[in-house]
Amino acid sequence: MPLTRLLYDRDHAQASLTLSFTTATSIQEPLFWCEELFISGFITEIFHAIWKAFYLTCAIEYPHLSTYITNKNIEFIEDKNKSPKHIRHIIAKLFAAQRNCITLNHYAYHTHNETLNKSISVLRGKAPSWINEYDKKSHQVLRHIHRKNPEKALALIAHSDNIEFINAVNQACHEYIGSPITSQTHIHDNIVIAKLHAFTTILRKKPHNIPENTHFTPFNTPPMCEFNPSTESLRNYLTGFDSNNIDLSIPENFITPLKITEQTSWKILRTHRMFPHNHSCNILTSNIPPNFDNVRFNWLDLCIGCPIWDQRIKNNSAYIKENKVTFNNDNDFEDFHNKWDLEFDEQPLKIQQMSVIVN
């Protein structure tokens, strides 16, 4: 919920990074959200967003990229300078792939409130003997798959908030229906990522369509991802099964606009905000971003929990108490606001609407 460097809601910025791989017409958009989270100090959130993007758009056709993401994550951890280049390599690799929205549409359908309110199918009676080879927690899911009802298996996964259950399902599905990856190495501690992993494993082997009359508008093929015979050989070279040793560099003209060069604080938002929250963030977060008045009057308190803002508060002789920022005296208050107040309420409507609903 904290606000980021440019006063976006953190959870919606994270969701926007993920969903940019489904809607963006340029790599500039995922790079922007990555930079916003990175400079704000939300590194874990970046990798969570990337894993979600992988499972939502690439994992069915490019399962080997899970190893690429893992290796780049390790490189980032071991890099003393914590360079964002490792993360940008992942973004470039995923963006170059022929992405699709199969998993996203199924996940959006099964996690929609109208679908979650429906009863789920629980199988009764004696279970087949073969199922005892698998973790008991996964039996209901496996039985639905065995009965050729993968949609019911996905419903069980979508309804659960038990990470142990989801990880047991992932392991059992890996063993039962198979996976292009020879060993089950990814055990995620984030329940949304774990669910998306399970969705991908099932949909890869048991493809099926969502119902025609859904409560949301299904996503189409992402821009620039339609099959094109003239470019597929190059795409396969850059992202195919033998491409994990290839890093894709991003031209500097995409990186330069991400750097904040404006020195006048009230001009920063209108100069450096580039994209609005993705309109479908509710698929990945139930958090509602703060409204206009809340940001207008309480913006600094809403920044508590953002590493870059916490450091700025500390550096200006202020302290946090009971989720409020308190200054030692009026001079410290004036100095801080002269330096850091982005004057959200004075920005053009278009800039404000990138992160809040303005009536």
User: Do residues 48 and 40 make contact, with C-beta atoms less than 8 angstroms apart?
Assistant: no
167-214 tens-digit pLDDT: 999 999 999 998 766 455 678 899 999 999 999 999 999 999 999 988
Q: Which residues 6+ apart lie within 8 Å of 320 measured at CB?
A: 304, 310, 313, 326
Q: Rounded to an integer, what distance in angstroms lies between the CA atom of residue 175 and that of residue 119? A: 28
Give the C-alpha distances (Å, rounded to integers) separating 171 from 71, 124, 149: 21, 23, 19
The answer to which of 149-153, 171-175, 189-193, 354-358 has the lowest mean pLDDT is: 354-358
| pLDDT tier for residue 126 given thresholds of 50, 70 and 90 | confident
> What pLDDT does 183 receive?
53
> What pLDDT does 164 receive?
95
> What pLDDT does 80 receive?
96
Give the C-alpha distances (Å, rounded to integers) separating 102 from 99, 218, 224, 358: 9, 9, 16, 33
Q: Give the whole-number percent of the chain exceeding pLDDT 90.
A: 88
Q: Rounded to an integer, what distance in angstroms lies between the CA atom of residue 137 and that of residue 66? A: 25
| pLDDT tier for residue 114 given thresholds of 50, 70 and 90 | very high
> What pLDDT does 317 receive?
83
Bridge partners for 321 per DSSP: 324
CA-based nearest residue to 157, from 97, 101, 199 = 199
User: Do residues 157 and 198 make contact, with C-beta atoms less than 8 angstroms apart?
Assistant: yes
pLDDT mean over 324-343: 93
Output the pTM of the full model. 0.95
Pairwise pLDDT comparison (1 vs 296), residue with the higher score:
296
> What pLDDT does 184 receive?
53
Average pLDDT of the chain is 94
| pLDDT tier for residue 67 given thresholds of 50, 70 and 90 | very high
The answer to which of 131-140, 238-247, 282-291, 314-323 has the lowest mean pLDDT is: 314-323
| pLDDT tier for residue 295 given thresholds of 50, 70 and 90 | very high
Please count the CA atoms within 13 angstroms of the CA of 326 that sit on its side-chain side: 7
Element (H, E) at 142: helix 139-146
Q: Which two tokens stand for residue 160?
A: 């659960």
Q: Rounded to an integer, what distance in angstroms lies between the CA atom of residue 207 and that of residue 124? A: 25
> What pLDDT does 137 receive?
95
The answer to which of 84-98, 122-136, 300-314 has the lowest mean pLDDT is: 122-136
Q: Rounded to an integer, what distance in angstroms lies between the CA atom of residue 320 and that of residue 327? A: 9
> What pLDDT does 357 receive?
78
Element (H, E) at 327: strand 324-327
User: Do residues 290 and 302 make contact, with C-beta atoms less than 8 angstroms apart?
Assistant: yes
User: Do residues 202 and 177 make contact, with C-beta atoms less than 8 angstroms apart?
Assistant: yes
Q: Which two tokens stand for residue 169?
A: 């399902």
79-111 tens-digit pLDDT: 999 999 999 999 999 999 999 999 999 999 999
Pairwise pLDDT comparison (186 vs 295), residue with the higher score:
295
